[in-house]
Structure 1
Amino acid sequence: MSVFSLDQFNYIEHLQLDNLLNAQKLISPHPEEMLFVIIHQTYELWFKQLLHDGRRVIDHLEADELPQATWLLQRAGRILQVADTQLTVLEMLSCADFQEFRPHLKQSSGLQSRQFREFEILGGLCETAGEKYANWAEQLWPGITANVGQTLHGAFHGAIQRSNLSLSEIYLNRWQHFQLFTLCEACLEIDRWLVTWRQNHIKMVMRMIGGSAQGTGGTFVEKYLEPTTRYRFFPEL
C-alpha cells in the first residue's frame, strides 16, 4: 500500500504537474519537436525566476542589504550558466530534423519572448544600450518600457554612490570593502554569462540554419543577433 494519500497536498499538486506535463502542444508530427518545445519552455521558467530574483535584488540594494543582493545575483549568474549549458542539449537536435518541422513554426520566434525582454529592461538595457534599444523593445511589445521603475543597473549605482567610494577604490581596497567588491563581481558574472549565452546561441543558430539565412522571426544573425553580444547591464565594471 502506498504511504502517499492523494487527498493530501502533495508533490503533484504543488508542482501542478498535470498542467505542466500537458503544456507541450506539438504542431507537427515530427518526434524531435518535443525537445524543441521543452527546451524553450524550460527557458521561460528560468526567465520567470530571473525576473523574480531580479526584483528582489533591487529591493535589497535600495535597502543597502548587500549580502542578500549579492547572493541573489550570484544565483542569477548560475541560472544564466545553466541557460548556456542547455544549448548543448538543443544542439542534439540535428539541423536536418529541425528543417523538417521548421516550416510549421511559421513566424514563431524567440524574439516573441516577453519575459526575456522584461529581464533585459529590468537589467537596465534601456539605460546602457540607449534609446535605439528602448524603441526596438517598444515596437516588439508596446508599453513594455512604460512602468519599468528601478533597474538592476540603477539600483547598483545607487548603492555604489551611497558608499562614497569609486569603483577603482573598491577594487584597489577590495578586502576593506569586501561586500561592495563581491557585489561588483556578482554583477560582472551576470554580464559574463549573458554574453557567453548570446555568443553560443549565435553559433547554434548558424549551425542550424546558416549565418545568412533568415530566422522565423524575420531576423538575420549579422543584423540582429551579433550586435546583442555587446549589450551589458553593468558596462562601467
Structure 2
Amino acid sequence: MSNDPETPNLDFAGTTPYEDYVQADVLTHAQHLRSDDPGEMVFLVTTQVMELWFTAIVHEWETASRALDEDRVPDALDALRRSAWELEALNAAWRPLGRLTPAQFNAYRGALGEGSGFQSAMYRRLEFLLGDKSASMLVPHRGAPRVHAELEKALARPSLYDEVLRLLARRGHPVPAEVLERDLTRKYAPSDGVELVWAAIYADRDQHSELVRLGEALTDVGELVWRWRNDHLVATRRAMGSKPGTGGSAGVAWLEKRSTAVVFPELWSARGHV
C-alpha cells in the first residue's frame, strides 16, 4: 500500500463509499438493448438520463410548493432557480438525438414496441405540478400499483402554480375565489382576474419586489418547459416526419399541439398590461 499522502484510500472491505451513495453499478447496467444497432445505446441512455432529470425537477418543484405553502418564498426561489439549471441540462439531452436521420431512428425503433415517452410516470408528475392535469393520464399505470398511487396523489394535490396563487391571496391580492376553490384534479384554465393580479404586482415592483422575483423565476421555468417541448417536436419531426408515434400516439401532431401550451399563462399575458 502506498504511503504517498496524495494517494486516496483504495482498500475497502465491500463496495466503495462512492458506489454505495451513487449506485453507479445499478445505473450503468440498466441498459438492456433490444436490437443489434449501435445507435440504440445512446437513445436508451439519453432517455434514462431524461428520466433522472425529471426526478430531480419534480423534487425541486415539490420542495418549492411546500415552501410556498409555508410562506418561505426565499426557499421556494432557491428551488425554482435550481430547477431552471436542471431544465437547461434536460433540454441539452436532446442534442444526441436531435440529429437522427429517419434511417438511423428506424434501425432500432421497432425495439420500442408499444413504448412511448408519453407513458413516463415521472414526466406525468412533472406535468401535474405545472397544472396540466387529467385523470385519464393515470390509466396507462393501472398495472403498477405504487406508480399509480403516486400519480393519484399528485393529481389531487395543488400544483406549483396553485400554491403560488394561494400565497398571493394570503398576501392580500384579489385572486378570484373560483380559482382558489377550483377542482385540483382538473387542468388549470387561465383567469382574467389572475392576469390583473400579476399586472398589479409587476406595476409596483418596489412594493412587491419578492413577488416579482417569484414571477420571474416561474417565467424562467415556463420558458424552459416550452423550449423542452419544442426541442422534442423538432427532434421527432427530424427523425420520423409525420408518421404515427410509438405506443399509438399521434407523433408530431400531438407534439405540435403540446408545443403551443403556455405554462403559467397569466405571467405572460399580464406583461401586456404593464
Normalised by the length of structure 1, the TM-score is: 0.89
Q: 3-state SS of the aligned residue for 1:217?
A: helix
Following the alignment from structure 1 to structure 2, what is the Cα–Cα distance between the partners of residues 152 and 80?
Answer: 16
Q: Is the 8 A contact 1:122 1:151 kept in 2?
A: yes
* Overall identity of the aligned pairs, in %: 29
How much has 1:182 moved relative to structure 2? 0.7
* Equivalent position amino acid for 2:214 in 1: L
Following the alignment from structure 1 to structure 2, what is the Cα–Cα distance between the partners of residues 139 and 223?
Answer: 22
Following the alignment from structure 1 to structure 2, what is the Cα–Cα distance between the partners of residues 104 and 200?
Answer: 23
Structure index of larger Rg? 2
How much has 1:223 moved relative to structure 2? 3.8
* Aligned counterparts, 1:79-228, within 5 A: 79-126=86-133, 134-142=134-142, 146-148=152-154, 149-165=157-173, 166-210=197-241, 212-228=242-258
Normalised by the length of structure 2, the TM-score is: 0.77
* Equivalent position amino acid for 1:172 in 2: A
Number of aligned residue pairs: give it. 229
How much has 1:56 moved relative to structure 2? 0.8
For residues 4-53 of structure 1, give each alpha carbon's deviation from its aligned partner in whole angstroms, at most 9, with x where no partner exists. Answer: 23237522221111111111111111111110011000001011111111
Following the alignment from structure 1 to structure 2, what is the Cα–Cα distance between the partners of residues 62 and 232?
Answer: 24
Q: 3-state SS of the aligned residue for 1:89?
A: coil
Structure 1, unaligned stretches of length 5 or more? 127-133
Residue 129 of structure 1 aligns with which residue?
A: none
Following the alignment from structure 1 to structure 2, what is the Cα–Cα distance between the partners of residues 175 and 123?
Answer: 28
Structure 2, unaligned stretches of length 5 or more? 143-147, 174-196, 268-274
RMSD after superposition: 1.9
Change beyond 3 A, Cα 1:169–1:77: same
* Aligned counterparts, 1:48-67, within 5 A: 48-67=55-74
Q: Is the 8 A contact 1:152 1:233 kept in 2?
A: no
Higher relative contact order (CA 8 A, sep 6+): 1
